[in-house]
A = this chain, B = another copy of it.
């Protein structure tokens, strides 16, 4: 049997950057999703109530990619009490022609962070107004930082506003972003004002209540909501759906279950079976997103196995080029 390549989190952090190459490979996965030839089964999900834990398994086969990834993402929410991170996990890349294991990517969630932020950049590239002066972010965790870094790869804004429930954490996030991006960055205490001053807003919270209200929306705004990844979560006031020129799910079937769409349907504001073009359709040019400078648009990102296959393939290609990782006889 051929050797298996093992890449640690340290290997992956030095190889895989949140850059245009990562955005492009994730974009290619969305384009493939639109072709209808991707095979992406529903997420396998298991709860372990005794440990306040859960584990999700995602996968997708994308024609044109030599491999497919299986990603295992455990979330054990009492871990911080033990000094351990809540989120962990790994990806396995298999050959799509033989099913043999090609690489084990012990990323502890790092590649998920990158592919999630890269999807935000894909959404911004195709849906945000051409010119963004100010980007706003609601939430101040890892994805708040990465989403804003990713967005700036495609919209070179000059200013960032950060809102978070904890003003100190919001200030720290703004300071980090200002330093990393070399732009003006500050915490904004009023989320309505943050939205009013921004042309692009990303919501990055695990909230179960709206953090962005419908009457804050203004012409020429694009919002990417990426925090909801479970049926109980949602960030956007469902009344916002009445004001959108385009609602763009990453995967419609998934957003009906665990995206912002779920809440809008539950509130009776959107018909249950209404069809929407997906982000991939807009990337592929078979559907239109923003049609004018005054449109209000919303991208609903719940995370897809196709992104995992894309980023894992990208990581393994970079590792091969760099001669990185450890070969392991199986």
Contact = CB atoms under 8 A, between A and B. Distances in A.
A257 interface: no
Interface stretch (A88-96, A203-211, A316-324): A88-96
Given A57-B59, A106-B101, A96 B44 contact: no
Interface stretch (A3-11, A21-29, A161-169): A3-11
A287 interface: no
* Copy total for this chain: 2
Contact of A48 (B61, B76, B329): B61
A286 interface: no
Contacts of A6: 6, 328
B106 A51 contact: no
A46 interface: yes
A172 interface: no
B99 A79 contact: yes
B99 A76 contact: yes
Interface of A: 1, 4, 6, 8-9, 39-48, 50-51, 53, 55, 57, 59-61, 63, 68, 70, 72, 74-76, 79, 82, 84, 88-90, 92, 94, 96-101, 104, 106, 108, 326, 328-330
Task: List 4 tightest A-B contacts by C-beta distance, closest first.
Answer: A74-B99, A44-B44, A76-B99, A106-B330
